[in-house]
Chain A
Amino acid sequence: MSTDRRAFFKNIAAAAATLTVLPTAALAREKKTAPPDAVGLLYDTTKCIGCKACVVACKDANRMPADTDGYGHGLYDSPDSLNQYTKNIIQLYKDGNEQSFVKKQCMHCVDPACVGACMLGALKKGKFGVVSYDVSKCVGCRYCETVCPFNVPKFEWAKAAPKIVKCELCKERLAEGKEPACTEVCPRKAVIFGKYTDLLDEAHLRLKNNPGKYINKVYGERELGGTQVLYLSHVDFEKIGFRFQQDESVPHLQQTVSHGIYKGFVGPVALYGLLGAVMFRNRGKSEKES
Chain B
Amino acid sequence: MTSNLTIAERLRRSGVSRRHFLTFCGKLMVVAPAGLALTSYITPQAVAATIGRARRPSVIWLHMQDCTGCTETLLRTSEPDLATLLFDVISLDYHETVMAASGTDAEAALKDAMSQNDGKYVLVVEGSIPTKDNGAYLKIAGRNGIDMLKEVASHSAAVISMGSCSSWGGVPSSNINPTGATGVDSIIKDKPVVNIPGCPPNPYVLLATVLEYATAGKLPALDSLGRPKFAYDRVIHDHCPRRAHFDAGRFAAQFGDSGHLSGWCLYKLGCKGPVTHAPCSTRHFNEVVDCWPIGIGAPCVGCTEKDVAFTVPIFTTADIKRPVPPDFYPAVNPEHKPISATATGVAGLIGGALLGAGFLASRKMNDGATKDEPKE
**Which residues of A come within 8 Å of B, CB atoms?**
50, 52, 55-56, 66, 68, 70-73, 75-81, 89-94, 101-102, 239-241
Task: Decide: A77 and B267 in contact? CB cutoff 8 A.
Answer: no
Residues on the A chain within 8 Å of B246, using CB? 75
Task: Decide: B331 and A52 in contact? CB cutoff 8 A.
Answer: no
Task: Decide: B323 and A81 in contact? CB cutoff 8 A.
Answer: no
How far is B336's CA from A77's CA once the two chains are assembled, in angstroms?
A: 17
One of A56, A68, A91 near B330 (C-beta < 8 A): A91
Task: Decide: B322 and A92 in contact? CB cutoff 8 A.
Answer: no
How far is B328's CA from A224's CA once the two chains are assembled, in angstroms?
A: 32
- Is B374 an interface position by the 8 A CB rule? no
Residues on the B chain within 8 Å of A77, using CB? 323-325
Residues on the A chain within 8 Å of B104, using CB? none
Residues on the B chain within 8 Å of A75, using CB? 246, 267, 320, 323, 326
Task: Decide: B325 and A80 in contact? CB cutoff 8 A.
Answer: no
How far is B323's CA from A56's CA once the two chains are assembled, in angstroms?
A: 9
How far is B324's CA from A163's CA once the two chains are assembled, in angstroms?
A: 24
Task: Decide: B325 and A52 in contact? CB cutoff 8 A.
Answer: yes
Residues on the A chain within 8 Å of B328, using CB? 72
Task: Decide: B330 and A92 in contact? CB cutoff 8 A.
Answer: yes
Nearest CB of chain A from residue B196's CB, rounded to whole Å: 30
Task: Decide: A76 and B323 in contact? CB cutoff 8 A.
Answer: yes
Known: A52-B325, A78-B323. 20 other contacts (CB 8 A): A52-B324, A68-B323, A72-B326, A72-B328, A75-B267, A75-B320, A75-B323, A76-B247, A76-B324, A77-B325, A78-B326, A78-B330, A80-B330, A80-B331, A81-B336, A89-B330, A90-B329, A91-B332, A92-B332, A241-B333
- Is B69 an interface position by the 8 A CB rule? no
How far is B183's CA from A7's CA once the two chains are assembled, in angstroms?
A: 100
Task: Decide: A92 and B324 in contact? CB cutoff 8 A.
Answer: no
- Is B368 an interface position by the 8 A CB rule? no
- Is B334 an interface position by the 8 A CB rule? yes
In the A-B complex, the 4 residue pairs with the closest CB atoms: A92-B329, A80-B330, A66-B323, A76-B326
Residues on the B chain within 8 Å of A92, using CB? 329-332
How far is B322's CA from A78's CA once the two chains are assembled, in angstroms?
A: 12
Residues on the A chain within 8 Å of B334, using CB? 71, 80-81, 91
In the complex, 18 of the A-B residue pairs with CB atoms within 8 angstroms, ordered by the A residue number, are: A55-B325, A56-B325, A66-B323, A68-B320, A72-B326, A76-B247, A76-B323, A76-B325, A77-B324, A79-B330, A80-B330, A80-B334, A81-B334, A89-B330, A90-B329, A91-B329, A102-B332, A239-B332
- A55-B325, A77-B323 as given contacts; A72 in contact with B333, CB under 8 Å: no
Nearest CB of chain A from residue B173's CB, rounded to whole Å: 30
Residues on the A chain within 8 Å of B35, using CB? none
Residues on the A chain within 8 Å of B324, using CB? 52, 56, 66, 76-77
Nearest CB of chain B from residue A84's CB, rounded to whole Å: 13
How many A-B residue pairs have C-beta atoms within 8 angstroms? Tell me: 65
How far is B326's CA from A76's CA once the two chains are assembled, in angstroms?
A: 6
Nearest CB of chain A from residue B299's CB, rounded to whole Å: 15
Count of interface residues, chain B, beta-carbon cutoff 8 Å: 18
How far is B322's CA from A77's CA once the two chains are assembled, in angstroms?
A: 8
Task: Decide: A78 and B332 in contact? CB cutoff 8 A.
Answer: no
Residues on the B chain within 8 Å of A240, using CB? 332
Nearest CB of chain A from residue B281's CB, rounded to whole Å: 18
Task: Decide: A101 and B329 in contact? CB cutoff 8 A.
Answer: yes
Residues on the A chain within 8 Å of B332, using CB? 91-93, 102, 239-241
| Cβ contacts B291-312/A at 8 Å (1 or 0 each) | 0000000000000000000000
Interface residues of B in 233-277 (CB under 8 A from A): 246-247, 249, 267
Complex: chain B residue closest to A60, CB-CB = B322
Nearest CB of chain A from residue B300's CB, rounded to whole Å: 16
Nearest CB of chain B from residue A157's CB, rounded to whole Å: 10
Complex: chain A residue closest to B267, CB-CB = A75
How far is B322's CA from A56's CA once the two chains are assembled, in angstroms?
A: 10
- A56-B325, A66-B323, A78-B326 as given contacts; A72 in contact with B249, CB under 8 Å: yes
How far is B324's CA from A93's CA once the two chains are assembled, in angstroms?
A: 21
Residues on the A chain within 8 Å of B330, using CB? 70-71, 78-81, 89, 91-92
How far is B326's CA from A90's CA once the two chains are assembled, in angstroms?
A: 11
Nearest CB of chain A from residue B320's CB, rounded to whole Å: 5
Nearest CB of chain B from residue A70's CB, rounded to whole Å: 8
Residues on the B chain within 8 Å of A241, using CB? 332-333
Residues on the B chain within 8 Å of A55, using CB? 325
Complex: chain B residue closest to A75, CB-CB = B320
Nearest CB of chain A from residue B165's CB, rounded to whole Å: 32
Complex: chain B residue closest to A71, CB-CB = B330
How far is B324's CA from A78's CA once the two chains are assembled, in angstroms?
A: 8
Interface residues of B in 314-356 (CB under 8 A from A): 320, 322-326, 328-334, 336
Residues on the B chain within 8 Å of A56, using CB? 324-325
How far is B37's CA from A64's CA once the two chains are assembled, in angstroms?
A: 37
Complex: chain A residue closest to B326, CB-CB = A76
Nearest CB of chain A from residue B316's CB, rounded to whole Å: 14
Task: Decide: B331 and A66 in contact? CB cutoff 8 A.
Answer: no
